[in-house]
Amino acid sequence: MPRELVAVAPREPVYRDYEDGPVPPGHVRLRSEFSAAKHGTELSLYRGVSPFADRVWDAARQIFLLGEQQGGVMGFPMALGNMTVGQVIEVGEGVERWRVGDRVFGWLGFRETHTVPERALYALPPELAPEEVVCWDPAEFALGAVRDALIRLGDTVVVFGMGAIGLLVVQMARLSGAAWVAAVEPIEKRRRLAADYGASIVYDPRDTDIALAVRRDLGREGVDVTIEASGSYVALHEAIRACAFGGRCVPLAFYHGEARGLRLGEEWHMNRVDMISARACSDPNREHPRWDNGRIRDTALALIRQRRVTVTGIVDPVVGFEDALEAYRMIDERPEESVKLGVRYG
């Protein structure tokens, strides 16, 4: 019987058996080959600390409401995992796009098989390995943030948080014309990758006052743009501090809980820093109708396919499905050992 990895309560991952029934019309079944997790948003849900733990997003009114106001919240069991690559093993009646044997991928979790509508899948580009294509998700959000940041030729930039998204932001900021891009990250493994990916300088925030170090190293009173990708309110405060007067600070992380460490009465107020919220999947985008989420996704995948950004080293560690449960605990409890978890099947 096939298995899936789910969380049955906050921080309680388990393997769960399931049965595959007949494939419905218009659906496709695939056998999983490779999957990856989404460490920021997914882990906040897994820990039970995201806004969705006790609130419901009312899309019609564009507001969060307490769960009792809406009759429930996002709960458990919760599927774990973000993207999966696999091979089509069965197609339902009326399916036109896929055939048995096609290699495909989509936004799917840690599960040995998936049965989904045919429109939920994409063809695996033949030149990309599974470890590369699962970086499409972070590349999408990195590109959205870089575009919202309006980075121009000659700008100076500091990126906070060298997870998968931040590592791609460093590269895309360079592609956009930034003359100087600093990376801020407490985890050594991720700092090394940032340097490999072209960061001008890499700071460890545990032993450095970032805003002062930036001013010292640049010889200017702050940078043009900061992008915050860690999800830490303390880091967001430091991203504001690193900005020059009238600079732009772009938070793209999924924040949760009370904003401890974020002091808006200080540099944000005195230096009139622009705060621009970035979320690539929220249409209409700022450049609607020319740019929407579909165009951002297409462009992000093209950058990976054309090797204009590199994703080598981002999916680390890679484990077998039989070890995925312990590996998932590891990325939660010992983040210094990982960048983006990958899982192989079979």
> Tens-of-pLDDT digits for all 346 residues of the chain?
999 999 999 999 999 999 999 999 999 999 999 999 999 899 999 999 988 888 888 889 999 888 755 555 567 899 999 999 999 999 999 999 999 999 999 999 999 999 999 999 999 999 999 999 999 999 999 999 999 999 999 999 999 999 999 999 999 999 999 999 999 999 999 999 999 999 999 999 999 999 999 999 999 999 999 999 999 999 999 999 999 999 999 999 999 988 999 999 999 999 999 999 999 999 999 999 999 999 999 999 999 999 999 999 999 999 999 999 999 999 999 999 999 999 999 8
**Which pLDDT does position 73 carry in this prediction?**
55
Beta bridge partners of 315: 340
Identity of the amino acid at 2: P
Distances from the Cα of 86 to the Cα of 32, 82, 104, 110, angstroms: 4, 13, 6, 11
Beta bridge partners of 113: 31
Give exposure, 155-190, as e/b (b: 16+ Cβ within 10 Å).
bbbbbbbbbbbbbbbbbbbbebebebbbbbbbbeeb
The SS3 call for residue 201 is strand
The SS3 call for residue 165 is helix
- Half-sphere CA count of 319, side-chain side, radius 13 A: 18
d(CA 124, CA 132): 10
Residues 6+ apart with CB under 8 A from 209: none
- Closest by Cα among 113, 135, 82 to 314: 135
- Closest by Cα among 110, 146, 109, 104 to 125: 104
**Which pLDDT does position 53 carry in this prediction?**
84
d(CA 163, CA 190): 7
Residue pair 160/230 in contact (Cβ under 8 Å)? The answer is: yes
d(CA 178, CA 78): 40
Give the domains, in start order, of the chain with CATH numbers: 3-135+314-344 (3.90.180.10), 137-275 (3.40.50.720)
Question: Tokens at residue 223, please?
Answer: 């940078």
